[in-house]
Chain A
């Protein structure tokens, strides 16, 4: 279980960082969302993975650490609010700048590439 869990967190983080490094706001927002998923899973695992453990004492023989669950809850709420804000900001930026590049202008090189792609395709 631990190996699959760690693998998932790793894949999510890698994809998140890759997408954040892209040039368009849409992919960056998706990247940030993936990163926040990865972070939430990671925080949850910091209390060690355990099956059938209750978070409240006296409910079962085994209990799991309740603090990471509270932390994840806080992180989810904050991450959700931030994602909502960054989506609105990306739309505002699209409207103000006239394109969806994070720098507000599409670099010359990628413009040429996209036109040559169109010609070939």
Chain B
């Protein structure tokens, strides 16, 4: 299929437009049915795309037939197709959960959700750095509206912060793009990678500024240390399915850092090789530490989950800072695991919050929950996975990252910090579990019913954890190949540019 590469962008866009038109726009039930079927289609399309790209090599889709480096291209290599599949699966889980009632708190939930998926998929697939900016804006404007969906004082307050920060971020992104275009003379990622090593020495400082400005922007999206203050409150205020979907938003930032700072400013960039590395090391450590402190200090499960996002970003950044193939492969494995499980944790926090009356998901003594056992088991699995206990995927992910550090001088820092952050999560989550499930007033809240759809959604996301372990060999083989592909920018230049090196 020649056009398969653009399906993950086209499908949600068309679906969103159709849902705004008469036969679907009036009734929420039709929208739900339509949205879930489109999402299933999207999962199938992304799987097909991943398999095609894995077996037949990187798929290049040239929009409008304008040959690169002049036109806009979509590049579906192993890394981007993996991220697209991850988005679709997470989106399906979040959407199933939303269909149980959260989508009816305001209008246009499903179209906005689809636009958000379109933006995220576009950001992963694009091979052009200005196009990356455009898709960032698409996903951001959908996320602004989704975040405030349902309304409320708290949501408005965090949304003001979120929107203003991201608008400043977009301006910085454009400044960086202007600098890079003015010096390198191209916006195609493959083309930039081939030209950056050949720059004059008087342009190098400017390009370095541009590259580091991009790091600031992506750091803001990924919630890297000095730019992470918006995240905990924003994620805790968002409605559960939106927070679950937002679990992939920080990963868009992580992905962009991987893509730009490994492909363009990677080992082959001559004088500009690895410009982000000296910044990433300290920031990643501090992010991890701050996240661990935040996890310990959180008064409610949703805030704990939000701080766990920061911990996972810190762990990922540490591995990215190592700048070696084994570490990148570990990053990819850990990214699949952490995105799906954090998403599930947000959903579980909402399930708990809805069952405990006024206490919601805060760590205080409250009434018993009605579905205590089912929710308890789900929480237990999610907590074990997040902390990184042996049988589940968190353990494998952490082992891979720790192993990747072997033979580096930084290992003396990496091991203790990662393990201490794990310990902090363990302490916080065990405290959360004991308070929520074991310390109760004894009365039972039995007037709250939970739609089975919600359990299906949580089970879908949680099932990723055992599956990632059972098929661990296949997944790590794939991530190894994806990391190798990402680190060899010459291979990308040969496939993405006709005529190769210019």
Interface residues of A (CB under 8 A from B): 16, 20, 25, 28, 32, 35-36, 38-39, 42-43, 45-48, 67-68, 71, 74-75, 78-79, 81-82, 85-86, 89-90, 92-93, 96-97, 102-104
Contacts and interface: CB of A to CB of B under 8 A. Distances in A.
Contacts of A102: 160-161, 164
A82 B164 contact: no
Nearest to B166: A82
Given A67-B181, A71-B181, 19 more contacts: A32-B168, A35-B167, A35-B168, A46-B181, A67-B187, A68-B178, A71-B130, A74-B130, A78-B134, A78-B137, A86-B164, A89-B156, A89-B159, A89-B163, A90-B160, A92-B148, A93-B156, A93-B157, A96-B157
A82 B157 contact: no
Nearest to B182: A46
B395 interface: no
Interface in B142-156: 144, 148, 152-153, 156
Contacts of A89: 144, 148, 156, 159-160, 163
B174 interface: yes
Given A32-B164, A74-B134, A86-B167, A43 B174 contact: yes
Contacts of B179: 46
Contacts of A86: 163-164, 167
Contact of A97 (B141, B153, B171): B153
Nearest to B145: A85
A36 B137 contact: no
By Cβ-Cβ distance, the 9 closest A-B pairs, closest first, are A46-B182, A46-B178, A104-B157, A39-B174, A96-B156, A35-B171, A43-B178, A46-B181, A42-B178
A85 B164 CA distance: 11
Nearest to B137: A78
A20 B168 contact: yes
B163 A85 contact: yes
Contacts of A71: 130, 177, 181
A36 B167 CA distance: 9
B175 interface: yes
B485 to A, nearest CB: 29
Contacts of A78: 134, 137, 170
Nearest to B160: A93
From B134, B156, B167, B187, residue with most partner A Cβ within 10 Å: B167
Interface residues of B, number: 27
30 contacts: A20-B164, A32-B164, A35-B167, A35-B171, A36-B171, A38-B171, A43-B174, A45-B178, A46-B178, A46-B179, A47-B181, A47-B182, A48-B182, A67-B187, A68-B181, A74-B130, A74-B134, A78-B134, A82-B137, A82-B141, A82-B170, A85-B144, A89-B160, A89-B163, A90-B160, A92-B156, A97-B156, A102-B160, A104-B153, A104-B157
Nearest to A95: B156
Interface in B111-151: 130, 134, 137, 141, 144, 148
B367 to A, nearest CB: 31
A90 to B, nearest CB: 7
B153 A96 contact: yes
A74 B167 CA distance: 15
Contacts of B175: 39, 42
Nearest to B157: A104
A86 B164 CA distance: 8
Given A82-B167, A82-B170, A97 B157 contact: yes
A89 B155 CA distance: 11
A85 B182 CA distance: 30
Contacts of B181: 43, 46-47, 67-68, 71
A10 to B, nearest CB: 12
A102 B168 CA distance: 15
Contacts of B130: 71, 74
Contacts of A93: 156-157, 159-160
B134 to A, nearest CB: 7
Nearest to A81: B141
Contacts of A36: 171
A92 to B, nearest CB: 6
Contacts of B148: 89, 92
Interface in B180-225: 181-182, 187
A45 B175 CA distance: 11
A93 B155 CA distance: 10
A75 B174 CA distance: 8
Contacts of A42: 174-175, 178
A26 to B, nearest CB: 12
Contacts of A43: 174, 177-178, 181
